[in-house]
Amino acid sequence: MCPSSDQADIVTDAENTDTGSIGTIGSASPPLIDLTGCDADDLDAVVKSLGLPGFRAKQIWRWIWRHGLTRFDDMTDLGKPVRALLPQHLIITRPVITSRQKSTDGTIKWLLRFADGNEAEAVYIPDADRGTLCVSSQVGCTLTCTFCHTGTQRLVRNLTVAEITGQVLIAMDELGEWPATHDGRRLTNIVMMGMGEPLFNYENVAKALRIIMSGEGIGLSKRRVTLSTSGVVPEIMRCGAELGVNLAISLHATNDELRDVLVPINRKYPLKTLIEACRNYPGLSNARRVTWEYVMLDGINDSDAEARALVNLIKGIPSKINLIPFNPWPGSGYERSKDDRIDSFAAIVMKAGYASPIRTPRGEDILAACGQLKTTSERLRKSQIKAITD
């Protein structure tokens, strides 16, 4: 069943920070059901529970996901009695935009506030032949990757389905993407590379992506959706089998000793197990490759020897390597590799037969580049949650 408009996966100090827990922030009246967190089956069940015929669910679905409507009064093929009934039980939400910044390169970063006051960021990156939306899956992050600004923010909670889809809806609203079937779409790709580890919030991420990929709505092809993970090995195969989206691995090191420092989850899922999971990812081919993300840190992981080790590590896996010049943030303690060092690293990788684009930093002037996202939201203690919910 889809959630009410005031539900959130709230993580307390005493709870498992990998998955969070379901909590409801109090309301004096029965909470409205938020349809942006409903899949097609949920919506069908909700509509029937209101005594309406099933075909009404399909009508409502198209209005929400193909036309971007938020008001039942604007759904012109619904009778007036139906339009009067629906808002008594249902709602179609958007996150609140608390800040919008546009970079000199056209990148847009939104700071979005949710019903409980917590915030996350989403970033739209325009290119000549595509437009990519970077979507967050959590408020904060539990991974503490030492080069990543988000990793300095403690995990607050998982985002709900509605909060994940809401980021896409906000972008489509601003970009004028409705109806979703129009030609010349500006939002062509989605990457789950924003705040948080998507595979630690797998259920909500998977449901949100299925909604976005539905052919009866926005209809974004799974070939245009990429999920990036730091290496939550048990969920990698599940993601490939159930969603069929593209896989990206936040790698950044070619040996366990260094990766244990840069990406601490490596201590739980070391490189041997991670590489084996990627080798067996469903659907891999020369046309559908694993993307290895590798941030270039001056004097840390950028030597020619590291480049050769990287080639050897991924041997036999259909792959492309995305070299990411480190994007500085206050207090990071790392420096970006020199341009000639990055070029030398890339040349070794390309000579081995791997596509190795060097990612052009985007949105640096608004702290929207890779590894720079962070909000001021903090994890609530149980006493604070009780004060909100009472």
Note the pLDDT tens digit of each residue in 45-75: 999 999 999 999 999 999 999 999 999 999 9
What digits encode the pLDDT tens for the residues 16-44?
333 333 333 344 567 999 999 999 999 99
Domain range 7-93, CATH architecture: Orthogonal Bundle (1.10)
What 3-state class would DSSP assign to 113? strand
Q: What is the 3-state secondary structure (H, E, C) of 249-282?
A: EECCCCCHHHHHHHCHHHHCCCHHHHHHHHHCCC
Structure tokens of 251?
């790698």
Every domain of the chain and the residues it spans: 7-93, 96-366
C-alpha separations of 182 from 172, 210, 218, 239 in Å: 12, 20, 10, 29
How many Cα atoms within 13 Å fall on the side-chain side of residue 237?
A: 9
Taking residue 112's Cβ as centre, other Cβ atoms within 10 Å add up to 23
* Per-residue model confidence (pLDDT) at position 362: 61
pTM: 0.86
Is the alpha carbon torsion for 108, 114, 119, 122 positive or negative? negative
Q: How far apart are CA 267 and CA 232, in angstroms?
A: 11
Percent of the chain with pLDDT over 90: 72
Catalytic residue numbers, as ranges: 121, 370
Q: Which CATH class is domain 96-366?
A: alpha beta
Q: How far apart are CA 369 and CA 363, in angstroms?
A: 5
Q: With contact defined as beta carbons under 8 Å apart, do 218 and 212 qualify?
A: yes
- With CA atoms as reference, report the closest residue to 317 among 348, 279, 291: 279
Quick check: bond before 179 cis, omega within 30?
Answer: yes
Which range, of 64-68, 157-161, 254-258, 322-326, averages the lowest pLDDT? 322-326
